[in-house]
Amino acid sequence: MKQIDRRTFLGAGASLAAWSMLPGLGMAQQGSSLRQVRLGVGLKAMSPIVINLVIGEILGYNAAEGFTLNTLALGTNANVQVAVDRGEVDFGVGVPSFGLPVLAQGDWKLARNFYQYTYPYKWDIAVLPDSPVQSYADLKGLRIGVSDFGATDYPVTRNVLRLQGLDPDGDLQWIAVGNGVPAGVALRRQAVDALAYFDTGFGQIEAAGLPFRLLPRPDNLPLVGGQFLQTRVSTLDSHPQWAVGLGRSVSKASTFILENPRAGALAFLRMYPETAPRGASQDAAVEAVLQAISRRIKLYRPPYPDVSMGYIEVSEFRTEAEMTGLQIADYAPFYTNDLIGQIDDYDHEAIRTQARNYT
């Protein structure tokens, strides 16, 4: 796969032009005393995949930190990176598969990851229930569907299949099939032989009643593919409390969801009612969100002992760099754990009580 360098990131900026001209972008609301914060996510439309990033708005966590959040779906992770670097958003979702190649080329200078909000590993490969494919090795010569070539399921799955002895370019054909239910439909109609996708995406397909079977994960599956909050280094230097505030809101929201997933789903739907299946009752809509997030919420807690939620383990970056043949001597410009202690400084039991009592 061609590495994504700074020039590629800047090229992605052209697709941001229409978004950046939206009226009122980044402007404070009239009469509001809360600071307006823009968060960029690499989605084409809002989805439960980012539930723990957004429900702090309706649960009061953002207001407690002095801000209100405007979440912007920018289409791809590359677009998010461009927007963060240019200061067109205040914060963005960072993914190593797009950032590490830039770091390896010495061009990573403007942004830094400061909170890990989802830990590895979240991807799988699915086939139809009656497919003869039984393992990753059986995929040789087949058509693999991914949601989008700008999404993380594409580069991560390529790297994992490379570890299984397959040539991602010579042994496989890759097809972009869209997000959510359309991806499941592509598999069902056999437009692809297998679907490489992430946990919440499979949950949406499952909720739509489309059958599939997940292939067994290989034993040597690497701990890679975490997702992070990032911002410009200049923001961390001048206003670290802004990053602490967003990180604390996300940590509280994650704690809330872990305590009562149904309450988290209900809060999400109150913020984004348009994401509910058309014609669904409230209970049915909540169940659909629960199915979508059931696999993901297990990844909110770090798989490392004695660390707080949000802690970044540098070995994930090293492993992913080795998988892709990147030579990186210093990871310090890419991340920081300096704010984790402050982010984690809140009454966890009060949040869990709120979740239990939420109606």
pLDDT per residue as tens digits for the range 298-309: 999 999 999 999
Task: Name beta bridge partners: 213.
Answer: 127
pLDDT surpasses 80 at 70: yes
Query: Quick count: other Cβ atoms within 10 Å of Cβ 7?
Result: 10
Torsion of CA 118, 123, 128, 129, to 10 degrees: -70
27 confidence band (pLDDT: 50, 70, 90) = very low
Fold of 123-214: D-Maltodextrin-Binding Protein; domain 2 (3.40.190)
Nearest alpha carbon to residue 251 among 311, 333, 207, 315: 311
Quick check: do 6-120+224-357 and 123-214 share a fold? yes
Task: Name beta bridge partners: 198.
Answer: 123
pLDDT surpasses 50 at 29: no
pLDDT surpasses 70 at 4: no
Q: Quote the pLDDT of residue 303.
A: 92
Expressed in percent and rounded to 5, the helix, strand and coil fractions of the chain are: 45, 15, 40
226-259 pLDDT per residue, tens: 999 999 999 999 999 999 999 999 999 999 999 9
Distance of alpha carbon 214 from alpha carbon 326, whole angstroms:
30
Q: What is the mean pLDDT of the chain?
A: 89
Fold of 6-120+224-357: D-Maltodextrin-Binding Protein; domain 2 (3.40.190)
Which pTM was predicted?
0.80
Q: Quote the pLDDT of residue 199.
A: 81
Domain edges within the chain = 6-120+224-357, 123-214
